[in-house]
Every structure is written in C-alpha cells, then in structure tokens.
Amino acid sequence: MYNEFDLDKIDIDIDSEPPTEEPFRQYYFMAKCRDWVRAFEQKNGRCPTAFTQTFGCQMNARDSEKLMGILTEIGFCETEDENADFVLYNTCTVRENANQRVYGRLGYLSTLKKKNPSMLIALCGCMMQEPDVVAKIRKSYRFVDIIFGTHNIFRLAELMWRRLDEGKTAVDIWEDTSLIVEELPSERKYPFKSGVNIMFGCNNFCSYCIVPYVRGRERSRKPEDIVSEIRRLSASGVVEVMLLGQNVNSYGKTLDTPVTFAGLLRQVESVEGIRRIRFMTSHPKDLSDELIGAMAASKKVCRHLHLPVQSGSSRILKAMNRRYTKEQYLELVGRIRAAMPDISLTTDIIVGFPGETEEDFQETLDVVRQVGFDSAFTFIYSKRTGTPAAAMEDQVPEDVVKDRFDRLLKEVQDISARVCARDLHRVKDVLAESVDDHSAGYVTGRLDNNTIVHFPGDASLIGSIVPVYLEESRGFYYMGRMVSDGDRIQD
C-alpha cells in the first residue's frame, strides 16, 4: 500500500482539501510538511534532524519505528543526538516513576530549545492518555509543540502541520478508537526481524495495571492485513516476526469474522521467507489447547513462550484480578510441556502486591521451582494511581518487599542457569543478530527458544540463520562455534 504513494504527486495547493480517509489523509499532510522541510533546507543548507526516544514495551518500540518512518518520509534525517530539530518522546506510564523520568528529560529539552528556538518537541504514547499529565504539560512545559496519545499515533504528520500552520501547541488525545491505521512508512531498527502489531488494547483490567485505561479496549487487525504486511516484510528481507499485542491470546474476538490466534498463526506460517514466528504477550487464562496444538505442529513458531504468572498465590491472583489459580497455571504449563517438551518458558512476577504474606510469597517460590523458568522479569509492586490496587490496604513494607525480591531473584537465577544449559553440546540454529560488543571477532545471536549465543563470526552473518555447536553454557547464554550443515546432529 504505502510504497505506492509518491508525495510529490499529491495535490497540496492552498485550496486543496485533505482527504478524509486514512492513510491517504496522512500522506497529504506528509506532503504538506515536506514543503516546510524544503524551506528549512534552503535556509540552513542541510536537512532537519529528528530524534525519537522510546520508553516502555515492544509495542511502543514498533510504534516508534512508524513515527520515524513518517519523519523520514517527510524529509527529516534521523539522528541519535537529542540536540535535534525535531525530538519525539514515545512515553510509557506502566510505573509511577516512568512519568518522573519524562518530566526530568523535558527540563533538559527546554535548555536545548532556548539555544534552538525553531526546534519542535513532541510527546505521545501511554503517559499522554492521562488527562492530569496533559494538563500539567500544557501549564508547566509550554515549550512542548505537539501532544498526542496512543490511539492516534498515525496522525503525527497532520499534527505537525497544524503546529507549523497555526503556530501554537497541537494537542490531540483520543479517549478510545476502533480505527486501526497501519499502512504507514516505518524505519525498522533491524533489517532481518520486525515486530508486527496484531491487536491493540486490553480488556483484562488486572487490578495493578494502567494499560487498559491508556490503551483502550481490545481491537484486532484483520488477518489479511497482517499477512500482507508480513509478506511485504519478507520481501524486504525479514526472516523473523514478533506478533505483538497486550494479550495476543484474545486475538480476533472483535473481528466481523472471528479468527482465533491459532488460526492467525497458521496463516502467518504460510508466508514464504519467514523462518521464525514469535509472539507476546500471552495471558494464561486465554491460552487455548488449539494454540498449544498449533505451536506444536508448526515448523516456524519458536519454542519460547512468555507466560506472565505475576504471583504463585491463588489468593493474591484473585486480588490481582488475573482470573486463574496457581493450580490452573501449573496445569496449563503441564499441557504445554506435554506438547512441546523442549519449550523455553519465561514469565513476569510481581513481589509485594498489597496484602502479600510470607505464605503467599512461598507459593510464588513454589511455582518458580515447579515450572523451572528459563528466566523471569521480576518487579517490585509499584503503586499506580488510577488502578484499583493503588487504593488497597496492607501495602507491604519496603524492607520486607526488598528481602523477598532478593530471595526470588536468587531462586530464578539458580534455576535459569540450570535449565538454560539444556542444549549444551548440541548443534542448533542461531539467528545472527549483531556483532558482539564485548569480544572482537564474535557475533551474537539467538536460538529459537530465545537463548543468546556468542560465536566467532563477522557482520556478514547478521540476519542469517546458521548451525552452531553449543560448546559452553555460561548461565543464561552459550559460547559456540559455527559448523557446516553436515555436522548437524538430528534432534
């Protein structure tokens, strides 16, 4: 779709009306903004630079690739330096301190803007979906030029034009939307792999989580749109896709013709050139036997599943509104392992949820021991204003939480070092992702179960999947050496 657009062919004369339909409307405004860029180049003898900073999750990272795609389509040159002509923060608000970080950085940006008054500053993402945040920015950070949210990420060009044309801060926050606009340019971070948004929003309302309030209700992209995006990605050299959603397991429920997530996986599997399919994030209550079957039967779906448990205590899981019990989680893991014995399981765990007792915490440790996770993202509970949990009694004292956090981390790391060595002395396929920053002459890649491998090689290997003999396990990663296909020990 989008590479059919030639901005120079779009009529942007003074009396032309912008199209109402998306994404055509945004290409119209990209063309308008491009005029401003050309004037800037004539005046300054260089192209204007753009910098984006992403806070938070992989969905934000994917959105930022599109935001930079729009900026480069308009004519900006991407820079790694915050001292740029256009600076955009794509914000996160999952934890209270995330907001403080952004306010801190805005202070620094204001000093840069004093030196470069034509600099444009834009803020978008989850934090901007909070009305009190927008009010604070409009009052105390008046130098911010554009403010928009999570539902209208695609409108960057239109809002930039409004700012340039009207000369005042452009603010555009949507309460919610059913609109999905994905056919936009994007500047991907990696040429060989890409995130693909398959759905937006979340209906689960876990009591500690702000996401449903800032990302809105669940809405799924049509499978044909997802598959055609993945075909385009494959044609441009992508071999691995990460299907993204706050809760991918409830994919398809809002479609006119519902399609299950397992059904979507089967469609994506048929795309030529794609060798690996990953997805996140899964919610245990929606992970079906159909999905387990589809994963086990697939040649491309990676043997890694991120399955947040959050707590091992059924009492705490109830207070978290997770809608499964400890037993149900363990039983689900049993079914997954029965179908895919070599699968790598990772998880998220919160310590110190209001009311958590030592017994509850022991239940969490018990789940960690029983499952044997490859790794776990462990978080200290963070009170998030606007969530039901923030109003709960029995906030756990900090020193108690810290002690439990340290004990959990030790348990997780001990187990991780043991289970991550499962493929030692075997030949496994590794997707080479980057040259190793720490050891010259080495590259870094990942097994399909997401474990990191370092092995001798150079940049010419990046993006290819090569057979590597795993010589040594060093806790959560391997050292290896590339071998020829003939040396592969059949699994």
The CA-atom distances, in angstroms, between 315 and each of 319, 357, 407, 469, 479 are 7, 10, 21, 45, 42
CA atoms within 13 A on the CB side of 301: 23
Reading the block at residue 77, the tokens are: 């040159």
DSSP-derived 3-state class of residue 124: strand
Beta carbon nearer to ligand SF4, 58 or 204: 204
Are 221 and 251 in contact, with CB atoms under 8 Å apart? no
Distance CA 273, CA 233 (A): 9
Minimum CB separation from ligand SF4 for residue 211, in Å? Answer: 4
Identify residues 274-303 at the interface with ligand SF4 (CB under 6 A).
283
Could you tell me how many residues of this chain bind ligand SF4 (CB under 6 A)? 10
Minimum CB separation from ligand SF4 for residue 242, in Å? Answer: 17
Instruction: Confirm or reject binding of residue 93 to ligand SF4 (CB under 6 A).
Output: no
Identify residues 442-461 at the interface with ligand SF4 (CB under 6 A).
none
Minimum CB separation from ligand SF4 for residue 203, in Å? Answer: 8
Minimum CB separation from ligand SF4 for residue 308, in Å? Answer: 7
Question: 49 CB contacts (<8 Å, ≥6 apart)?
Answer: 76, 77, 78, 79, 81, 84, 85, 86
Minimum CB separation from ligand SF4 for residue 320, in Å? Answer: 8
Distance CA 243, CA 198 (A): 6
The CA-atom distances, in angstroms, between 138 and each of 75, 133, 135, 170 are 28, 9, 5, 10
Beta carbon nearer to ligand SF4, 206 or 443: 206
Distance CA 34, CA 28 (A): 10
Beta carbon nearer to ligand SF4, 23 or 201: 201
| String of contacts with ligand SF4 for each residue 181-220, x by CB under 6 A | ---------------------x-xxx--x-xx--------
Beta carbon nearer to ligand SF4, 322 or 428: 322
Distance CA 448, CA 339 (A): 17
Minimum CB separation from ligand SF4 for residue 120, in Å? Answer: 31
Residue in 52, 186, 197, 246 binding ligand SF4, rule: CB under 6 A: 246
- Interacting residue ranges for ligand SF4, rule: CB under 6 A: 202, 204-206, 209, 211-212, 246-247, 283
